[in-house]
Structure 1
Amino acid sequence: MADHDADPRRLPEKQRGPVVLRRSRSIEPTTTDQRLLDSRGPADWVHTDPWRVMRIQAEFVEGFGMLAELPRAATVFGSARTPVDSPEYELGRELGARLAGAGFAVITGGGPGTMEAANRGASEAGGLSVGLGIELPFEQGLNPWVDLGINFRYFFARKTMFVKYSQAFVCLPGGFGTLDELFEALVLVQTKKVTKFPVVLLGTDYWGGLYDWIAKTVLREGKVSERDLDLLHLTDDIDDAVDVVHEAYHAWEETH
């Protein structure tokens, strides 16, 4: 009689930790610890989904452990392609310094360009400069101005750290990565997954077109509300950006 026709109460059954295996095609002839201890065997298992779960868990544990005692912080996003001798680099450097002067640690993606500029500004001003890097197909590494750094394999683990340990996002001109972080932050605030969390767009020439499209097309079509549009703060003034971050932190502090 085939397994699917048998009385399920009499089917062979095996426990593998919290997992129950039934029917002969699902049951392995060896135990997990036997396979671990008997021989080295192939290395393919380190690339399987269950092992990836452990790697993911390790990234969260490492990130939470490293950042748990971080002081108040703001995350600065921007392009890795920003040249060192460009006005955007100087803008990021000044922003990092001003945030540090206001008592904020500065968190970036830890890479070159605008990220390096913000880390550099914070470090030179005597503040804490944090870099949360990501493994990419091309070599990047943490920039030399990072005081406290960690590299992640997984974008979602890294994004959690940005949001959990930051009280604000400031976005300088950037590409897909910056846009990704920008809109993820907006969704989290819109859906109240995080509160008292401002998102500042620094650079009206660069961000103005995007802001106008949201206001004139997305809002007009009813895809967002007026309140959603208020989640974005567009400015060219570094003092204004830092004030927004500062005010939001104090509002957050009052509720915690």
Structure 2
Amino acid sequence: MIVLKSPREINIMRQANQIVAETHHFLKEMIVVGITTAEIDRLGEEFIRNKGAVPSFKGYRGYPASVCVSINEEVVHGIPSKKRRVEDGDLLSLDIGAFYEGFHGDAARSFGVGKISNQARELIEVTEQSFFQGIEKAYPGNRLTDISNQIQKFVEGKGFSVVRDYVGHGIGREMHESPQIPNFGSPGRGPLLKKGMTLAIEPMVNVGTFRVKTLVDEWTVVTEDRKLSAHYENTIVITDNGPEILSKV
């Protein structure tokens, strides 16, 4: 069942997502070559808690950290480690959630550390742009997969591929609510978009194949061909006038 949110609930979600957006902004400024991914996680958790929220991911289905830190060929769910240090030229993806006054916020960002390759830079840009292409269809009366199709067409038109095994989702009192939101597929399918829907739309885009696999830690998802991947996500709400991005500073 898709839960439509009231104006009061949307306002709380706006606050939860503000915390997520501010955490992203803070961490991007703090990340330098040599920092460990465990330190990134510690800084992120402290920031979220200092804002009066709780990290959504910590302990969720057994996930051991507060910030998903995925590097280069890692698509999503990278586990922070004291042994893993960020290197010059890395493509870093951070996925962050915050639980505030009964509601979740969720957003992901990818960016380069130090001097990155032209291919990595283009991948990051295309992944972010694909999100904004997708939400051009996030209007009441459209179908859910109108968003999905728009993302896929844009990404593949740029010569990259869209991950199939992981998708976006509804969000609210639960981190993952209905509906699932694929980043690929034919338009005109799925539920009608309605005012009050809150959706976490998150393209995951690869340089090579769209196929992925999960490592032995049972969390970290990598590209099957070990080529680069990027991730961009925002929580939005459908309004009469179209999408409002909740997870932005």
Greater fraction of residues in strand: 2
TM range (shorter): under 0.3
Higher helix share: 1
* TM-score (normalizing by structure 2): 0.25
Indicate the structure whose relative CO is greater, using CA pairs within 8 Å and at least 6 residues apart. Answer: 2
TM-score, normalising length: structure 1: 0.24
Greater Rg over alpha carbons, structure: 1
